[in-house]
Amino acid sequence: AGLETSNGAAVPAPLPGPAPVKRKPAKKAKKAVVFFEVEILDAKTKDKLCFLDKVEPNATIGEIKSMFHKSHPQWYPARQSIRLDPKGKSLKDEDVLQHLPVGTTATFYFRDLGAQISWVTVFLTEYTGPLVIYLMFYFRVPFIYAPKYDFTTSKHWVVHLACMCHSFHYVKRLLETLFVHRFSHGTMPLRNIFKNCTYYWGFAAWMAYYINHPLYTPPIYGEQQIRLALIFCQIGNFSIHIALRNLRPPGSKTRKIPYPTKNPFTWIFLLVSCPNYTYELGSWLGFTLMTQCLPVAFFTLVGFIQMTVWAKGKHRSYLKEFRDYPPLRSPILPFVL
């Protein structure tokens, strides 16, 4: 068949041309991975301890610790402190190599933190001691008081109430350690457990000796009010621990600003950065008023000083880490401290 022109002559149809050749899309050139060389020096002597070749740029400090551990088995990751400067702060395990201010040949400094122990083990040891020790004095086991008082009970109601409050406090702490707390750091130096146990166990024995003494004289006080205050503070302390737990997903070390929840006991977050310490202080103040015992008052004072140091440290950390941190908050006592 063909096409007709204006004068009726047939013109042959054009022959079909060759089909266009489809070109394959050009392959994108893969970016070359720039590996890092990592050398680890002793922070004290500056001696080279380890050299790691071809470390991936997205490797974390935690992974570098594991690599270092392979060449030095005596230093497991938990006892390693890796730093950019011999006297600087320890880097976090989640810090990524390529995001640190280092070149492709990175130099880190190692410091041995000493033997470590898990925080769970530390807390269980710290809190089991006072619970058992106090009960030994309460039940007046032999060799504590005079033989005629062995396994006798006090005639004063406040002594029994004090035992219930003290026992409840440490049972609550043990249960929180097992089922509530999520720790940002998995371990602490082993040597600290001896110091901590001396503090908790020693004070428990000192308080229990006088409160459960056969010659103990009960004070005159508003029993009902103090009992309610103790219950209030214990519930408040537990509520804060639950709120802090919910801020951190399981297995995560992320930090967020704690805010009040629907639970009224958490509304104190509006004014205080560490209300768990505020409630803790309230509990021991109530226990001091209830027993009117000098060792309890001294324990409360020492605990308040220590909790204030911790609270101020956490408050400064919040201010440094979060630019939008609420400005009205105080570390432990609203508008005061």
Amino acid at 215: L
Q: Name the maximum alpha-carbon separation found in the chain.
A: 143
Helix extents (H) in 139-222: 157-179, 191-211
Quote the pLDDT of residue 245: 86
Amino acid at 244: L
The secondary structure of the chain in percent helix, strand, coil, rounded to multiples of 5, reads 50, 15, 40
| Domains of the chain, start order | 36-114 (3.10.20.90), 117-321 (no CATH)
Quote the pLDDT of residue 206: 96
Quote the pLDDT of residue 104: 83
Residues 130 and 137: their CA atoms lie apart, in Å, by: 11
**How far from chain centre, in Å, is Cα 14?**
83
Quote the pLDDT of residue 210: 94
Candidates 142, 75, 139, 147; CA nearest to 111 is 75
CA atoms within 13 A on the CB side of 86: 8
Residues 109, 110, 111, 117, CA torsion sign: positive
Quote the pLDDT of residue 197: 94
Candidates 122, 137, 274; CA nearest to 200 is 122
Q: What's the CA dihedral at 169, 172, 173, 174 to 10 degrees?
A: 130
Quote the pLDDT of residue 337: 87
Residues 153 and 175: their CA atoms lie apart, in Å, by: 28
Quote the pLDDT of residue 229: 74
Query: pLDDT digit string (tens) for 31-49?
Result: 667 788 899 999 998 899 9
Query: pLDDT digit string (tens) for 241-266?
Result: 888 888 877 766 677 888 998 999 99
- Measured from the Cβ of residue 90, the count of other Cβ atoms closer than 10 Å reads 14
Whole-angstrom CA distances from 183 to 55, 234, 249, 299 are: 29, 21, 11, 26
Quote the pLDDT of residue 28: 60
Q: Which residues contact 321 (CB under 8 A, 6 or more apart)?
A: 255
- Measured from the Cβ of residue 191, the count of other Cβ atoms closer than 10 Å reads 10
Tokens of 159: 């002594």
Quote the pLDDT of residue 291: 87
Q: What's the CA dihedral at 231, 237, 243, 248 to 10 degrees?
A: -140
- β-bridge mates for residue 38, sequence order: 52, 106
Quote the pLDDT of residue 94: 85
Tokens of 11: 């013109």
Quote the pLDDT of residue 224: 67
CA atoms within 13 A on the CB side of 330: 11
Residues in the chain predicted with pLDDT less than 50, given as ranges, are 1, 3, 5
Q: Cβ distance 61 to 91 under 8 Å?
A: yes
Candidates 213, 202, 219; CA nearest to 291 is 219
